Amino acid sequence: MTTTADFGSAALNAFLRAVGVLVLGVGAALAFVFAFAAALVIGLMIAGAAFALRVWPRRADASGADILEARRTPSGWVVESAAKRKS
């Protein structure tokens, strides 16, 4: 009877190990599927942003008035804005 009990115990142990390995395999496959889906969504978001930046109309160049020019004179530094130099 000891041999039969040992065989049953070993078979049950092997079956439980196989089920555990199967569960780990399914879990790993699900993790890869979700990681791929997340990477795909992030990639589509980046591609959409790049496309929007490419086709979106640009702002008018209003930065000309904000540019300052500095030059050194014998009496010190003189700072002028771009609008002042144009007139």
The percentage of residues in the chain with a pLDDT greater than 90, rounded to a whole number, is 55
Specify the pLDDT at position 87.
46
Cα 17 to Cα 23: distance, rounded to the nearest angstrom: 10
Higher pLDDT: 49 or 63? It is: 49
- Which tokens sit at 43? 């990639």
CA quadruple 35, 36, 40, 42: dihedral, nearest 10 = 20
Cα 79 to Cα 58: distance, rounded to the nearest angstrom: 29
- Give me the mean pLDDT over the 56-83 stretch: 76
Average the pLDDT over each of 11-15, 59-63, 76-80 and give the range with the smallest value.
Answer: 59-63
User: Are the beta carbons of 79 and 68 closer than 8 angstroms?
Assistant: yes
Specify the pLDDT at position 31.
98
Going by pLDDT thresholds of 50, 70 and 90, the confidence category of residue 25 is very high
